[in-house]
Amino acid sequence: MFLLSTWVLALDVFVLCLFLTIIKWKRFLVTTLFGYQHPYPPGPPSRSWIWGNYADLSAGNQVNVYAEWFKQYGDVVHFRTFNEHFILVSSREAATEIFEKRSNNYSSRTFPKMAELMGWHFLTGFKPYGERWRAERRLLQQHFKPEAIPRYFEIMEQKINVMLRQLLTDPDRFRDHIRNLSGAIIMSTVYDYELSPHGDAYVKIAEESLERLGEATFAGAMLVNSLPFLRHLPGWLPGCGFHRYAQNTKVMTDQMLNDPLTLVEKRMASGIAHPCIAAELLVNPVSPIQYIDIKNVCGTSYAAGADTTVSATSTFFYAMANHYDVQLKAQAEIDDLIGRDRLPCLEDRAALPYAEALYREILRWQPVVPLSIFHASRDDDIYKGYYIPKGATVIPNIRAMSRDSTRYVDPESFNPSRFIKDNGTLNDDDVNYTFGFGRRICPGRHFASATLWLSIVRVLYLFDIRRKKDVFGNEIPVNSGYTPSLVTHPLPFECSITPRSHSAHMMLFEAITEKFSDFKM
């Protein structure tokens, strides 16, 4: 009897959710049945009238699928999963027109239902356009605008020097050192929190929860994103196992959001707080809503900074292991400028054009977020005669833009010289598109850029990166491939990291970093 009543209750809930979903689908049904005076952009045929192209995307291989659609249908593509419309934008020209010139209509976000269930509601970058987003964006810009970045140079140098010492003593764990570096810089900057040098809990939390976020946000990744009524059904029903996955993730995201800020508040109450972004934002009395904004901004900085720089720095090591000629050219430029009296610093950036070109090529060759974060159309729009409906999810295909053969000769190759003009100066392609577009461009891009560039030039100044060799002296091929996630990473690979031959460099390095020998990450 109990089992029967449970099923009846579940059926009632399902019918109610289905009714609400049909109401939500009203606009879709009318458009589909009766048409619209302008067609949708070209795109792949729907596999089904009901679920559209959902089956094309459920395997999690969106980057490759979108690349094929770009070749077949053009730079603006339409597809659908259930009643959700998606617009794929794969050229910089179309992205500039849509996300920048029409920013009033395309500056909002679609927030996947699964991401909400997992506790990612605090991410400023995922918030829809509105008052709360503007308030949080102002706080982020206040602390990460170009003029503010020099304040953080000392922290960056300290943490990078610690990573260099770790590469010297334990080079085989370079991936762990990279992860610690990114987490150490952002956690010190935002919370004045010093990471443990041997696997800090906050680094692990960020890494795993962000990996789960990537799995949940792609189009077609989770059925509940397309059928939100599923969130009201119990987890024991078939197809509702996402509930447990979301709850487990929410434990981690709650820790990311709350625990570090609580530590700052306790230190402030004890009168022992050191300067950091969180302390500066909390130094004056704030309203409850302002406190939430501050918590969200700090949590967003932690989440974004702890993983994105890891991706780009890992790509640097991967590229150098495979392109020793590029490495030698960059090292020669750095040596000519720096000599043997000091380490490279951020003030040298303008005088090292090839190092800057190398930095740009790393971002272009393997974009950190290959599909960016999705935008949303706030109203119906017409683009080149094609209809983009209100509420559509609009995807900047950064990966396709980085492979534009009309702009980049042999785009699959790793070649920093593509950014150098014949007279030896840099061209005007700063690859800023890899950080997003319009009003939703990444506010932390200047901070991330400084961190990545300084890491690159200091590693090159002190170390050689090559392929490892087997016992017979043969080079071991570097494992290729990248993870199919929101923030992409090279698959695990090995490389040889050794001090450069001129001992003066290492003597200088040891002298400079001696004062950091007891410095914690």
Q: What is the mean pLDDT of residues 197-202?
A: 76
The answer, yes or no, to whether residue 297 has pLDDT greater than 70, is yes
pLDDT mean over 321-327: 96
pLDDT of residue 473: 81
pLDDT at 469 over 90: no
Spatial contact of 178 and 314, defined as CB atoms under 8 Å apart: yes
Sign of CA dihedral 201, 203, 204, 210: positive
**Three-class secondary structure of residue 198 per DSSP:** coil
pLDDT at 362: 98
Buried b (16+ CB within 10 A) or exposed e, 106-115: bbbbbbbbbb
Residue 318: the pLDDT is 97
Q: How far from 95 is each of 100, 198, 206, 383, 395, CA to CA, in Å?
A: 7, 42, 30, 11, 9
pLDDT at 31: 52
Q: What is the pLDDT of residue 258?
A: 94
Residue 442, annotated as binding a ligand: yes
Closest-CA residue to 183 (of 298, 310, 300)? 310
Tens digits of residue pLDDT in 238-291: 667 777 888 888 999 999 999 999 999 999 999 887 899 999 999 988 999 999
As a whole-number percent, the residues of the chain with pLDDT over 90 amount to: 63
CA 198 to chain centre: 24
Measured from the Cβ of residue 489, the count of other Cβ atoms closer than 10 Å reads: 23
Q: Where are the beta strands (DSSP E) in 472-518?
A: 496-499
The predicted pLDDT at position 38 comes to 84
CATH superfamily of 133-376+393-516: Cytochrome P450 (1.10.630.10)
Give the dihedral of Cα atoms 366, 59, 68, 383; nearest 10 deg: -90
Q: Where is mean pLDDT largest: 39-48, 98-107, 207-216, 335-344?
A: 98-107
pLDDT digits (tens, 9 = 90+) for 415-464: 999 999 999 999 999 999 999 999 999 999 999 999 999 999 999 999 99
What average pLDDT does range 337-363 have in this prediction? 95
28: its two tokens = 């879709």
Band of pLDDT at residue 342, cut at 50, 70 and 90: confident
Domain layout of the chain by residue ranges: 133-376+393-516
Name every residue whose Cβ is closer than 8 Å to that of residue 487 and which is 6 or more positions away in sequence.
210, 214, 307, 308, 311, 368, 369
Q: What's the whole-number mean pLDDT along residues 296-324?
A: 93
